[in-house]
Structure formats: C-alpha cells, structure tokens
Structure 1
Amino acid sequence: MPAPLSIVIPTLNAEAELPLCLESLMPGLEAGLIREVVVADGGSEDATPKIAGAMGANLVTGARGRGAQLAAGAAAARGDWLLFLHADTALSRDWAERTGDHVMTKPDHAAFFELRFRSDARAARTLEKRANRRARMLGLPYGDQGLLISRKLYDEVGGYQDVPLMEDVMIVRAIGKRRLVQLNAEARTSAAKYERDGWRKRSWHNAALLARFLLGASPDALAKRYT
C-alpha cells in the first residue's frame, strides 16, 4: 500500500528557505508516511527548482500566485492525504507522529500545527499566542501553520481557489471550525517580514486585511495593499 501523504509546497525564489523546509520532512520519510513531495513553482529565477530536484521533490511549474500554485500542486499529487506547507516553514520533529495519529483517527477532520516564529523577539511570542488562540477559537489558522487534509475532504470543499490573497482563509472557512483541529507539533516559520516591517506594524496590517476580507473586500483589491 502506498504511503498516504503528499506534501505540497508553493515556491517563488525560495532558495534560502526551501532546504530547511524539506529537511524538516525527514521524520515523515523515516516513518513511511510520505508518498511524495510536490513543489509547485511560480516561475523562480533562482536555484529553487534545482534544490527541489536535488532533494527528490516533484516539480510542477505554472502560473504565479499562491492560490494557483497550491491548486496545481494538489492536482498533481497522488496521496490520499495532502499536507500544504509554505516554503519558509519548517516542522518540528514530532510532526510525523502527530500527523500519522491524525490520519488514522480523524479522517473527516483537517488539521494545522501550532505556530512558532524563528525569532527570539518578545513580540514573536506575543503574536504566536494570539495567532494560536485565534486558530483554536475561530478556526482561522495562518497559512504558515500548514494544512493537513484528506483528498476526499479537500475535493468536497472545492480546494484552493485561484486568488492572489486569502486563499488560506477561504479554504479553512469552507472546511468549517468543527472540522479543524490543532496538532501538538510546531510549524516554525520565518519572521523576516515582521523583522523588516516591525512586529506591531506588520501584525496590524495583516489583521486589517483579514477584517476587510471578512467584511466583503475582494482578494484582488486586498492584494494591491499586500507586500
């Protein structure tokens, strides 16, 4: 019987972050959990495609845009379960055990990981707590927290939409809070944008975009204000 899990990673000029992301998947290979890794690239001009190939991933190239890339990766994947992961996120070593347990016991539920920033800043700890609380209470995890979902449920909710922004919010809203659980393992994501823009400024900017989306603003309009 083939391993159950296809991992889908959208990339765009991700040569600096992709190796750590891929290396963090090793526990899943050791456990016989991973069938394949699909890197859905949006036209990288750096070494991203070479890194993906050298580390054994299947490369899918297509239109630029995270929503489109996630959808293309899912279409190419063959596993009964899909794990969507950002290229600048690395999973803690216990992810494979927690994922395997979920696959065996909660086939009708999707899951996400606990958010952790790769930063020693005090503001990082504050934002992590707020984000994890939002994810648990409202069923709105960040895309950085990954998404583990069966192929059956993914198809049922319509998959990722080809939109320039908020594709992560759209799919978890389609899944619904009652079918989402948090796994007790960490998604350790890059803090580069927060360190560049300032923790408070960046977090408030993201919160404002989310609020506008929930109030009816289109992803296309919001994308013009996202950097």
Structure 2
Amino acid sequence: RAAALAAGAKQARSPWLMFLHPGAVLDTGWIEETTQFIQIVAASGKDRAGIFRYARSPYTDAGLRDGLKFVARIVAGPSAEQGLLIAREHYERLGGYRPDARRSEARLLRRLGRSSRTMLRSRIMVA
C-alpha cells in the first residue's frame, strides 16, 4: 500500500495531495472546506496538514472494535483511515510514504506531529 501511495504522490501534478482509503466517503461540503484550508495554509506560510474527522457509518453495527479504535484515536491521534490533505512540499520534507517501511502511513502521521495537523470539520466514513 505504501508503495502505491508513494507512486501516486510522485505522479500527481498538483501542489496539494489528498490521500483517502478505498471506500471512504466524505461529507458534503468537503470541497469548500478543503479549498478554504488550502488557501489559509498557503497564505500563512506555515506547514499544516488536514485530517478529516472520523465518523462511523450509520449503516454498520457498533462493536468492540469501534470502541477500541475510538480510544486509540484519543491516545495516539488520528488513523490513516481518516485521510490526509497535505501540501506536496510539506509531504516531501517529511519524507513522504516510504515504500519499504512498515506502517508507512502511521509513520507519516507521527512525523506530522500534533502541532502541524488540523482536524477538519468534514467527516469521513470508511466502509
């Protein structure tokens, strides 16, 4: 998976990258919010990345696994399932997704740190 993400980032032409897991569904209004986020970050000159707010699908039954994921997000921060919106330059300075590393997505989120992550209002549901 990390190799595919790294290859996709390398081929993308945009100055901003957005990574989503297959089956992810974003709230309506996510386009406007991400546009505003990109404009604000670009104007500030500070490195920031956006993470979508996790929302469990209303069509699935809540189970123990959902509870454990909730606790993990509180303790460890967001998961890779929540998607990532990041400027290409920032992504590259952090080293991007390393194709040969285990848990490359989690490593990138840790390298971002809390201070350069913004939790977006738009929710993401992963099937």
Q: CA deviation at 1:176?
A: 1.8
After superposition, give the CA deviation of every residue in 1:22-76 in whole Å (9 maximum; x if it has no partner). xxxxxxxxxxxxxxxxxxxxxxxxxxxxxxxxxxxxxxxxxxxx10000000000
Which structure exhibits the higher relative contact order, with contacts defined as CA atoms closer than 8 Å and separated by 6 or more residues?
2
Deviation at 1:80, TM superposition (A): 0.8
Match of 1:184 among 105, 121, 124: 121
Structure 1's consecutive aligned runs of 4 or more residues displaced over 6 angstroms after TM superposition are none
Matching residue's letter, 1:130? V
TM-score where L is the length of structure 2: 0.83
Aligned sequence identity (%): 31
Q: Distance in 1 between matches of 2:28 and 2:89?
A: 27
Q: CA deviation at 1:144?
A: 0.9
CA–CA distance in structure 2, aligned partners of residues 70 and 100 of structure 1: 22
Q: Which residue of 1 is the match for residue 74 of structure 2?
A: 133
Q: Does 1:91 align with 2:26?
A: yes
2:61 to 105, 121, 129: 121
Give 1:155 shift: 0.9
**Conserved? CA contact 2:48–2:117, under 8 Å:** yes
Offset, 1:120: 3.5
Number of residue equivalences: 121
Q: Distance in 2 between matches of 1:154 and 1:73?
A: 13
Q: Larger deviation: 97-106 or 142-151? A: 97-106
The whole-number CA distance in structure 2 between the counterparts of 1:112 and 1:128 is: 16
1:150 aligns with 2:87: yes
CA contact (8 A) 1:112 1:180 kept: yes
Q: CA shift at 1:127, angstroms?
A: 5.0
Q: Any idea what SS the aligned residue of 1:117 has?
A: coil
CA–CA separation in structure 1 for the residues paired with 2:125 and 2:68: 13
Q: 5+ unaligned residues in a row in structure 1: which ranges?
A: 1-65, 191-227
Answer whether contact 1:116 1:128 (CA < 8 A) is retained. Answer: no
TM-score by length of 1: 0.49
Return 5+ residue gaps in structure 2 as ranges.
Answer: none
Aligned partner of residue 98 in structure 2, secondary structure: coil
Q: For the pair shown, which has the larger CA radius of gyration, 1 or 2?
A: 1
d(CA) in 1 for partners of 2:8, 2:83: 14
Does structure 2 retain, via aligned residues, the 8 Å contact 1:89–1:189? yes
Indicate conservation of the 8 Å contact 2:80/2:109, yes or no: no
2 CA distance for matches of 1:158 and 1:70?
A: 13
